[in-house]
Amino acid sequence: MSNILVTGGAGYIGSHACKVLRAAGYTPVSYDNLSTGWRDAVRFGPFEEGDLTDRARLDQVFAAWQPSAVMHFAALSQVGESIRAPGLYWHNNVAGSLCLMEAAVAAGCLDLVFSSTCATYGDHDNVLLDEGCAQVPINAYGASKRAIEDMLRDFEVAHGLRHVIFRYFNVAGADPEAEVGEFHQPETHLVPLVLDAVAGRRDALTIFGTDYKTPDGTCIRDYVHVMDLVEAHILGLRWLEAGHDSRVFNLGSGTGFSVREVIDAAEAVTGAPVPVVEGARRAGDCTRLVSGSTRAGAELGWVPARSTLREMIGDAWRWHRAGHYDA
Could you please report the per-residue DSSP string of 147-194?
HHHHHHHHHHHHH--EEEEEEE-EEE---TTSSS----SS---HHHHH
- Average pLDDT (100-124) is 94
Concerning whether 12 is annotated as a catalytic residue, the answer is no
Q: Quick one: pLDDT at residue 322? A: 85
Q: Are 321 and 270 contacting, i.e. CB atoms less than 8 angstroms apart?
A: no
Reported as a pLDDT band with limits 50, 70 and 90, residue 294 is very high
- Average pLDDT (268-288) is 89
CA distances from 34 to 46, 94, 171, 196 (A): 14, 18, 21, 23
- 298 Cβ partners below 8 Å, 6+ apart? none
SS3 80: helix
Q: Quick one: pLDDT at residue 326? A: 60
Burial class of residue 70, CB neighbours in 10 A (0-12, 13-18, 19+): buried
DSSP string for residues in 280-327: PPPTT--SEEEE---HIIIII----TT-SHHHHHHHHHHHHHH--TT-
Higher per-residue confidence, 68 vs 83: 68
The pLDDT tens digits for 1-10 are 799 999 999 9
Answer yes or no: CATH 3.90.25.10 is held by domain 190-222+254-322.
yes
Q: So what's the architecture of 3-172+223-251 in CATH?
A: 3-Layer(aba) Sandwich (3.40)
Q: Quick one: pLDDT at residue 78? A: 83
| pTM, rounded to two decimals | 0.94
Reported as a pLDDT band with limits 50, 70 and 90, residue 286 is confident
- Average pLDDT (141-154) is 96
Q: Quick one: pLDDT at residue 325? A: 66
Q: Quick one: pLDDT at residue 40? A: 93
The alpha-helical segments, DSSP class H, found in 24-114 are 55-65, 79-84, 86-89, 96-107
Q: Which of 89, 141, 212, 223 is catalytic?
A: 141
Tell which residue, 58, 65, 67, has the closest CA to residue 102.
58
The helix or strand, by DSSP H or E, that contains position 47, with its residue range, turns out to be: strand 47-49
The pLDDT tens digits for 187-233 are 889 999 999 999 999 999 999 999 999 999 999 999 999 999 999 99
Task: Say whether 190-222+254-322 and 3-172+223-251 share the same fold.
Answer: no
User: How many separate helices (H) and strands (E) can be counted in the chain?
Assistant: 11, 14
| Least trusted range by pLDDT, from 71-80, 259-268, 311-320 | 71-80
Q: Is the pLDDT of residue 246 over 90?
A: yes
**CA–CA distance, 105 with 147 (Å, rounded to integer):** 18
Domain ranges of the chain: 3-172+223-251, 190-222+254-322
Instruction: Quickly count: other Cβ atoms within 10 Å of residue 309's Cβ.
Output: 22
- Average pLDDT (148-154) is 98
Higher per-residue confidence, 189 vs 80: 189
